[in-house]
Each structure stands twice: as C-alpha cells, then as structure tokens.
Amino acid sequence: MSEGNASLIVEFGAFDKAVAMEFAQRAAAFAPELSGTPSARLVDDAALMKRLWSARETAASATSIGDDMSKPDPVVGWEDAAVEPRHLGAYLREFSALVELYGYKTSVYGRFGDG
C-alpha cells in the first residue's frame, strides 16, 4: 500500500478506458503538489485491482480489532460515508473533531466522491 499512515484508492471511470486513464494520469501528476507530497501509483492490471478492492472491502473489519484486550474494540461501520469531493476536506475535519470530542476510536473509510 503506502509508505505513510494512510492510503487512498481512487477509481476513475469513463465510457472509454483511455479517457479514464487520462483522468487518472492527471490526478497522479497533481499529487506531488499537494500538502505532504503524497505519492501516486496507477494500477491498470485487473488482478492487482481485484486484490486492492479486496483489501478495501475487508479493511474496516481488519482495523476494528483492538490491540488492548482491556479496552473495547473501535466502533465499526457508522463512519462509512459517501461525500462529494468538494466537501471531503471539511467532512473529514468535522468527523475527526467529533470522534475526538466523544472519545471514540475508529478507522475512517468511505466511498468519497459518491455523495
């Protein structure tokens, strides 16, 4: 996955695969300009895409198991959200503030962009 503390899987679609790849290449070229200079990797291999989606589909369950048996496991599922891209930053900041305010432990995942 990633070298940092998070990964973001972005899937680009279009009626034509070449157009979808062009969208993906533009996004990947823009990534180094973002804060923190994230890296980007384009995946066009069907088998690898299947493995990545499998990881995404099971990630919430995998991250919900706590490593301290004396504490409750993190809450899973209620933070799975569909958010429009233009609202994603504000949503994540507000969501993180609420999680911290109420002392919850959770993983963040969602279908961002499907809002």
Q: How many CB atoms lie within 10 A of CB 10?
A: 14
The 10s digit of each residue's pLDDT in 38-76 is 888 899 888 888 888 776 666 655 555 556 667 665 555
CA distance 40 to 86: 20
CA distance 34 to 57: 27
User: In the prediction, which pLDDT does 1 show?
Assistant: 46
Q: Is the pLDDT of residue 17 over 80?
A: yes
Identity of residue 104: Y
The 10s digit of each residue's pLDDT in 18-28 is 999 999 999 99
The 10s digit of each residue's pLDDT in 36-48 is 878 888 998 888 8
CA distances 1 to 5, 29, 58, 84, 104, Å, are 10, 19, 14, 24, 26
User: In the prediction, which pLDDT does 82 show?
Assistant: 72
Q: Name the pLDDT band for 115 (thresholds 50, 70, 90).
A: very low
